[in-house]
Chain A
Amino acid sequence: MSKVFIALQTNDDTRSIIQAIMADNPHAICNEQPAMVKIDAEGSLTVRRSTIEELIGRDFDLQELHINLISLTGHVDETDDELTLSWNN
């Protein structure tokens, strides 16, 4: 299986987002680098709105991710509730 990744800036907004991603994707590996975090995962990775909302205690629009997003790979499938990255191999 190929790996996908998502990279986010390290800041107060992303702390809960990263925590949510790690909780929803037990197979993911979190690499901390200067000023950024790169989360790698075999096959696919899902960012779930409801998990983030539970952690931050307010409504969250998944498109808010754009503000702190650095990079990603894989095919993107975004709905109101989930953003999934995946490769078809």
Chain B
Amino acid sequence: MDMKVSKKKLGLKEKYQHMTRGLGWETTYQSMDDVFPFVKYEGIKIHDWDKWEDPFRLTMDAYWKYQAEKERKLYAIIDAYAQNNGHLSVTDARYINAVKLFLNGISPLEYMAHRGFAMTGRQFPGVGPRVACLMQSLDEIRHAQTQIHSISNYNKYYNGFHEYRHMLERVWYLSVPRSFFDDAVTAGPFEFMVAIGFSFEYVLTNLLFVPFVSGAAYNGDMGTMTFGFSAQSDEARHMTLGLEVIKFILEQDPDNLPIVQQWIDKWTWRGYRVLTLVGMMMDYMLPKRIMSWKEAWEVYFEENGGALFKDLARYGIRPPKWLDQIEQDKDHISHQAWATFYNYAAACNFHTWIPTDDEMDWLSQKYPNSFDKYYRPRLEHWREEAKKGNRFYNKTLPMLCQTCQIPMIFTEPGDPTQICYREVDYKDNKYHFCSDGCKEIFEHEPEKYIQSWLPVHQIYQGNCFNEGVDPTAEGFDPLAAVLDYYHLNFGRDNLDFEGSEDQKNFDEWRGMATKNV
């Protein structure tokens, strides 16, 4: 980059001071409480909004300048990638399923984050956090747009990308990421900041973007790498904001501590559950693997998160709850998730497969305590069955956790052979949970979580069929009716990778790219 650096009239600190202070005022026509109606009900006490400090001291003029530069770089690469049939340079077509999962499951969350920060910024009477929320809101819509633009190139050639907006509100597994963000944006402004700004951005987002995007680069996917790193360059700022949020709230009033601690416990657990999908991508969906989920967890959560919580101890903050279980789970969750998607491959908009022998050996080496003992035998059994023509597709709908909405696939802490079930009776109904964490989160706010839109319940209640479909008709096929409702094309978007149209086309086109035909 050759960017001209002009001589500064003001230093960084002075400029930040001038451009983020004195811009607000006390309202007189309406009471401040009416203008900012949500800022008190959560119980957080703020005495001096001017104590808010953005450590990067970014102001809007500098923001536009650097964001414009990032966009120019990004679109130049995306154009080059598309013009050169870059999609044919990925390791193999199985990889593209990781991109499908990303577009369907993650990109819509970027858009919700945009809305969330816009709403939250509006609710804060302080100008410093309002400016920070404005920038983050713009960042998030940029992420949604650049991801959609980059990935639309894949939609021209491969199945499963075509209706991500329609599917987000319907397809069973997408209720997991969607409900996570819906939970956050329907909380109060301070909880949203702790949920997304701190717990998700600071503690967990590195796990999503850094190893996965570096993995995309390793697998020859320049498109994903480019939007990923471009988004991540904003995340560094978001993370810093997330840490600032916590420090600011805790320094304002000692009464804020227990409220913030409860949010940290809740949102670290909620975010951790959502990241199960990323663990599965890293361990099973990248043909060339960069690091295991467990290794990424150790670097980005245990090491960095450990340093973070040690630092926050001076405010009285302790590490999030349920870390003992999380520590044990890191050997298991990616395998348990992949097995689930393998089972339900008929109802997914991406393909699954059995890893090759080499890949299984890699998994054995990375997971010496769990893979050979618990997970390899099952994969080998399914492989044998598939060879005999009995590729296993599970047609029974699973029970879902009321809080995280993930099927009950996780095992008891300390016993990976026993599925973990918890339940709570509330107002004449029984509610089910995958873990102590999800159960406790429900118990704290039952009136919120009894409203969850659980895909399996909705299917059984007959709410997931197109209009005019008669479930009592002779020979009614519920799975086919649900897939129609999802706009999922049977035999193209779903089922095993082996024998799929994606596999066939990729091989044929790659052949054409390297030979004269």
Report which A residues bind B (CB closer than 8 A).
Answer: 2-5, 7, 9, 13, 33-36, 58-61, 63-64, 66-80, 87-89
Contact = CB atoms under 8 A, between A and B. Distances in A.
A87 B307 contact: yes
B229 interface: yes
26 contacts: A33-B214, A34-B214, A35-B217, A36-B217, A58-B5, A59-B5, A63-B56, A64-B1, A64-B66, A66-B237, A67-B73, A67-B233, A69-B232, A70-B209, A70-B210, A70-B232, A70-B236, A71-B206, A71-B209, A71-B210, A71-B232, A72-B236, A74-B307, A87-B311, A88-B314, A89-B311
B8 interface: yes
Given A66-B56, A68-B233, 10 more contacts: A2-B311, A7-B210, A33-B214, A59-B5, A63-B12, A66-B236, A70-B209, A71-B236, A76-B56, A78-B12
Interface residues of B, number: 44
B421 interface: no
B253 interface: no
Q: Is the interface of A mostly helix, strand, loop or mixed?
A: mixed
Given A36-B210, A76-B55, A69 B62 contact: no
A78 to B, nearest CB: 6
B110 interface: no
A22 to B, nearest CB: 19
Contacts of B239: 71-73
Contacts of B8: 80
Contact of A70 (B12, B13, B229, B240): B229
Given A2-B306, A89-B310, A36 B229 contact: yes
A75 B5 contact: no
A78 B235 CA distance: 17
A78 B57 contact: yes
A67 B11 contact: no
In the A-B complex, the 7 residue pairs with the smallest Cβ-Cβ separation, listed nearest first, are A2-B307, A35-B217, A76-B55, A59-B5, A34-B218, A34-B217, A69-B236
B67 to A, nearest CB: 9
